[in-house]
Amino acid sequence: MKFIDTAEIQVKAGDGGTGMSHFRREANVAFGGPDGGNGGRGGSIIFQGDEGLHTLLDFRYNRLHEAEHGGKGGTNNRQGKMGEDLVLKVPCGTVVYDSDSGEMVGEVVKHEQQLVVATGGKGGVGNHVFVSSSNQAPTKTIPPELGERKSIRLELKMLADVGIIGAPNAGKSTLITVISAARPKVADYPFTTLIPNLGVVSHKDADPFVVADVPGLIAGASEGKGLGHDFLRHIERTRILIHLIDASQETADAMISDYEGILNELELYDQQLLLRPRLTVLSKLDLVQAEGEEVFQNEEAINGFRSYLQSKKVEFLELSSARRLGISNMLDKVVGLLDAMKEGH
């Protein structure tokens, strides 16, 4: 299924039904009497979370959504039929914006959670309401209200416990295939991952947790360059970040630039992201270390980057996804952080 994480749609809630102006005509009722009923309320537009959905694809091809109008009031003071609400199912993590004002209407984060985005119009008032001692035969009615019409922008921000971040080709897709059943496309060219991938990780006796491999970013991503906001949007909801740095780069300066570049883009997009628990991990060690050996082909570069991290008092891990080395240790750290966050609540 194609992954779509934004959509622009139009919604129109149902109009209220017309109130009736009517008089009874029975032969045994002297002078008759007003008996026009009220119109029914129009249906509302409601978004509902569905944990089985992972894309906004349906909204790309169906852009207009209208709820049912309320029914007209009837004789004998009968209330018009209420318009049926239109419930639109969306993935959990969907944020709803008013396209005209740019303001956030709300967000749907839980399964079956509902968010009313356009309210149906009230039904019109029939003439029976206006009977009084001084007016026994009112013809007055009150017109119904129109249902709300809105232009809506939907954004999907994936919900995951852990987000794997890093520059293109840092090894994110390979890592998620090793720790979960997710099978993203993997290749040796930039931007292999064009859509976020989710995987469920089970490690030892810990509760399973969800990991998101999100697209790599480049300098200027916070301004929308490269995959830009398409990447950054999806790490806002993650609780922990795993920051991968490609250890096969030829110089320490290249690794430092890689590392600082990612952190800079996070800060420019949202400073709060830097406060999130984060594991720094050197990846792809299998590319620079022959199996069974301890010496790295780019030993000077890796030692230089290690020294840089130590000078910044940044703890780090090292792993090879291809050889499954360091994976268990990393997952132990992740589980420990998640458990600590649960206890903190």
Reported as type and span, the H/E element at residue 231 is helix 228-232
Mean predicted confidence (pLDDT) in 123-142: 88
Cβ atoms of 106 and 97 within 8 Å: the answer is no
Look up residue 13 and give its two tokens.
Answer: 């809630």
CB atoms within 10 A of CB 223: 12
Domain boundaries, the chain: 6-156, 162-344
Residue type, 36: G
* From 11-20, 119-128, 197-206, 230-239, the region with the lowest mean pLDDT: 230-239
What strand order describes the sheet that includes 104-108? 64-66, 6-12, 149-156, 94-98, 104-108
Name the CATH superfamily housing domain 162-344: P-loop containing nucleotide triphosphate hydrolases (3.40.50.300)
Q: Looking at this protein, which amino acid is placed at residue 187?
A: A
Give the pLDDT band (50/70/90) at residue 157.
Answer: confident
DSSP3 helix / strand / coil % (the chain, rounded to 5): 25, 25, 50
The answer on pLDDT for 330 being more than 50 is yes
Residue 29 pLDDT: 58
Residue 122 has pLDDT above 50, yes or no: yes
334 — pLDDT class (breaks 50, 70, 90): very high
- What pLDDT shows up at residue 26? 67
pLDDT at 243: 96
Q: What is the pLDDT of residue 197?
A: 75
Alpha-carbon distance 176 to 236, whole Å? 19
Backbone φ, ψ for residue 97 (5° rounding): -120, 150
| pLDDT of amino acid 102 | 92
> Domain 6-156 class?
mainly beta
Q: Rounded CA gap, 140 and 259, in Å?
A: 73
pLDDT band, very low/low/confident/very high, at 332 (cuts 50, 70, 90): very high
The answer to whether residue 74 scores a pLDDT higher than 60 is yes
Q: Give dist(CA 274, CA 272) in Å, integer.
A: 5
Polymer length of the chain: 345
pLDDT at 345: 55
E strand or H helix that includes residue 269: helix 252-269
The rounded mean pLDDT for the chain is 86
Q: What is the pLDDT of residues 271-327, one digit of tens each?
A: 888 999 999 999 999 888 877 777 788 999 999 999 999 999 999 999 999 899 999
Whether the per-residue pLDDT at 221 is higher than 50: the answer is no
Q: Residue 46's Cα: distance from chain center in Å?
A: 16
Judge whether 16 and 124 are in contact, CB under 8 Å: yes
CA distance 263 to 267: 6
Question: pLDDT band for position 192 (50/70/90)?
Answer: very low
> Given this model, what pLDDT does residue 318 score?
95
Q: What 3-state DSSP class applies to 303?
A: helix
User: In this structure, what DSSP letter does residue 126 have?
Assistant: P
Contact 173, 192 (CB under 8 A): yes
**Is residue 197 a contact partner of residue 181, using CB atoms and an 8 Å limit?**
no
pLDDT of 241 reads 95
Is the pLDDT reported for residue 189 higher than 70? no
Hey, CA dihedral for 292, 297, 298, 300, is it positive or negative? positive
Q: Which of 72, 70, 71, 79 is nearest to 129 (CA)?
A: 79
The pLDDT of residue 228 is: 43
